[in-house]
Amino acid sequence: MILLLKIIIESFRQAFQQLISNKLRSFLTLLGITIGIFCVIAVLSSVDSLQDNILQSFEKLGNDVIYIDKQPWNEDPGNNYWKYLTRPNLSYQDLKAIEARSKMAEAASLMVFIPGKLLKHQNNFIQGAYVAGITEDYNKVVNLDFEHGSYFSPSDFQTGRNAVLLGAKLAEELFPDGNSIAKEVKLFGQYFTVVGVLKKEGKSIIDVMPYDEAVLITWNTAKKIININSNSNWGTLLSVKAKRGSDINEMKYELASILRPVRGLRPKDKDNFSINEVSLLTGVVKGVFGGMNAAGFFIGMFSMLVGAFGVANIMFVSVRERTSIIGIKMALGAKRYFILLEYLIEAIALCIVGGVVGLILVTLVLFVVSKAVEFEISMSVFNIFLGLLFSIIIGIIAGIIPAIHASRMDPVEAIRK
């Protein structure tokens, strides 16, 4: 064990001497390894960060919530567009049926999406604000955090009073002084009282539900402003939160069995609604990003293989320059596998140096890029270890043939050279 440790230390020392004594040759040789590690780890870290950001956005929807919509979420919106367009919107009757008959639902809520409108307070205005009408139990299905104020009161829902909840970004733009509660904003040509401001969600590459820019009103208020029963103008989404311990798959069947008779479907008729959950979206995302990771990995591996040829070349040169020293070591009793290990570890050490430089470059580049984009890009500990592992593997590939060549030399012939 002590002898092996000495071999490792000596190999690293010789690798360091190679780098110092032949700076230009070492730089050009390790450049391929550095570029390869940079490409692989930069792509993997970027894709992982992007995927994590998107998955975190999906998590806001809740893993225990079923979403009933016209169209399945795991299908391209362009496919069968007209088929899904003709489906009836989810209605208030659908919601009431689920609330009355479901044994597995803890809460259910219906949301109607209203195209962007002008939102105004005094001289401050926002064009194209995202407006949604919600039913009373929406805050039981989706956890809403408030910066100021609170959720709608029961009387707000019952009477359809002109009250609104504002997203943090909208509140900042309309009320720069921060004082928005009980103030009025103009929407649909009417005045609405601000009862709450949602807590800021922060940066996200995808806003599944853009609450920072949302205007929420009650369902009865929305009914007074628009014709909700019009199937072509407004989109609706029915959300159902499962009771703790309920099986999501069983709940899907239960919800379908409740909705089919309400919608007048006969036993042989196909569903005219789609039951979705977050796992459908996460599965699609993981599949896409898995392909991107594979592409980045293969691109980087080509660069690392080019670098491996350079390391193999420098190792052959090193063996040739130290041929007489190899012969003397063998004459003094050094085993052939000691010689093999010495040169193999030296090649690995050279590749590790190139890999570490590549990882440092990745860290610097990701730091700069994360300041310029809308989400944080970082390098995980797993990717760091992966970069070092790739360096070791390339070192073994590059050094094995020169190391075998050195270990098979004839001691007498080697000393003469």
Which residue ranges make up each domain of the chain?
A: 2-57+289-416, 65-276
Percent of residues in the chain assigned helix, strand, coil, to nearest 5: 55, 15, 25
Beta strand residue intervals within 53-104, DSSP E:
65-69
**CA 163/CA 118 separation, integer angstroms:** 16
pLDDT digits (tens, 9 = 90+) for 320-350: 877 787 777 777 777 777 778 777 887 888 8
Tell which residue, 88, 62, 375, has the closest CA to residue 209. Answer: 62
pLDDT of residue 134: 93
Please indicate whether residue 375 or residue 385 has the higher confidence score (pLDDT).
385
pLDDT digits (tens, 9 = 90+) for 176-227: 887 889 899 998 888 999 999 998 876 554 444 678 888 999 999 998 888 7
**CA 210/CA 170 separation, integer angstroms:** 11
Choose from 85-94, 155-164, 230-239, 350-359 the range with maximum mean pLDDT: 155-164
Helix (H) or strand (E) holding 92: helix 92-101
Contact 281, 73 (CB under 8 A): yes
Query: In sequence order, which ranges of 22-91 are alpha helices (DSSP H)?
Result: 23-59, 81-85
pLDDT of residue 325: 77
pLDDT of residue 53: 66
Question: What's the pTM value of the predicted model, to 2 decimals?
Answer: 0.64
Burial class (CB in 10 A: 0-12, 13-18, 19+), 24: exposed
pLDDT of residue 332: 73
**CB atoms inside a 10 Å sphere around CB 127:** 9
Q: Which two tokens stand for residue 402?
A: 């020169």
pLDDT digits (tens, 9 = 90+) for 254-307: 999 999 998 888 888 888 888 887 755 555 566 666 766 677 677 767 777 777
pLDDT digits (tens, 9 = 90+) for 55-106: 565 555 556 788 888 888 777 666 777 777 788 888 899 999 999 999 988 8
Pick from 34-43, 111-120, 228-237: least confident? 228-237
**CA 173/CA 181 separation, integer angstroms:** 14
**CA 390/CA 39 separation, integer angstroms:** 12
pLDDT of residue 274: 87
The number of angstroms, rounded, from the C-alpha of 289 to the middle of its chain's C-alpha atoms is 9
pLDDT of residue 97: 92
**CA 130/CA 165 separation, integer angstroms:** 12
Helix (H) or strand (E) holding 124: strand 124-134
Q: Which two tokens stand for residue 298?
A: 């293969």
Which residue has tokens 């569903």?
271
- pLDDT of 353 higher than 80: yes
